[in-house]
Structure formats: structure tokens, C-alpha cells
């Protein structure tokens, strides 16, 4: 996100990072509220409880674009959205996880798809 926004995030503490995202009209939300997972692979997610994405969108009706960080988040998120999904522009971004082996430069290039959305 720092590359997309053109601002420093890494050196900031967590509350300051969130404030910076808010200033750029970016919300941060986990699709999965809680789960059991051995290791870091998404394929190991078990006993998942999802966050209330529909409720979040009802509280913030101006949201028009949802970007998912990785394929698993997109798959779960669009399943949660169900019939509401067509109301939104949905962007699947490559996972920011270091376990995802796409080179950083390529991940960053794909994440740049957010720039036009943020500049509306």
C-alpha cells in the first residue's frame, strides 16, 4: 500500500498506519474473523468464522470498490457477498504474503491497479 499511495507506512506504528490509510480513503478489513490454521498456508484454514462484510458495507454505503489481498480472500469474500457482489467493483490483488512467490516488483505492479480507484 505504501507504493500505491506514495507514502511511508512501514516505519509508522499501527494506529498511524490506519490513520494514513483512512486519509487516503482506504479501509482495511479481514474477511476471516477467526480460524484454526496449522502453518501459514490458506489451504490449512479450518473452522473459519467470517467477518460481517455485508454489515460493514451497510454501515458504509459509499464503498464502491473492494480489493481482496489474494485469491483465497477474493474467493471467500465474494462467497460472503453472494448476490451483493455485482454492486461492487471487485479487484483481486496478488497476496502480499512472502509465502506467495511472485517477485515483489510484479506484486507492486499489480497493486498499482488501485491508483485509479483511489483517485476518483
- Alpha-carbon Rg of the chain, whole angstroms? 15
Grid cell at residue 68: 481482496
The CATH architecture that domain 2-118 belongs to is 3-Layer(aba) Sandwich (3.40)
Q: What is the mean pLDDT of each run of 10 residues along the chain (120 residues)?
A: 92 96 92 80 77 94 93 92 95 80 85 87
Grid cell at residue 102: 511472485
- Domain ranges, ordered by start, for the chain: 2-118
Is residue 66 helix, strand or coil?
A: strand
**Residue 100: per-residue pLDDT:** 64
Closest CA to 118 of 20, 15, 48, 45: 20
Residue located via cell numbers 468464522: 49
**Residue 85: per-residue pLDDT:** 95
- Contact between 34 and 49 (Cβ < 8 Å): yes
Helix, strand, coil shares of the chain as percentages rounded to 5? 45, 20, 35
- Distance CA(4)–CA(118), nearest Å, equals 9
Amino acid at each position: 500500500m505504501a507504493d500505491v499511495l506514495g507514502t511511508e507506512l512501514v516505519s509508522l506504528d499501527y494506529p498511524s498506519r490506519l490513520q494514513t490509510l483512512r486519509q487516503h480513503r482506504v479501509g482495511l478489513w479481514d474477511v476471516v474473523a477467526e480460524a484454526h490454521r496449522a502453518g501459514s498456508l490458506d489451504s490449512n484454514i479450518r473452522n473459519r468464522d467470517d467477518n460481517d462484510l455485508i454489515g460493514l458495507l451497510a454501515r458504509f454505503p459509499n464503498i464502491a470498490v473492494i480489493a481482496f489481498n489474494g485469491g483465497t480472500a477474493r474467493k471467500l469474500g465474494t462467497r460472503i457477498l453472494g448476490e451483493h457482489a455485482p454492486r461492487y467493483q471487485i479487484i483481486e490483488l496478488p497476496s502480499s504474503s512472502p509465502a506467495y512467490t511472485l517477485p515483489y516488483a510484479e506484486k507492486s505492479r499489480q497493486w498499482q491497479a488501485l491508483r485509479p480507484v483511489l483517485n476518483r
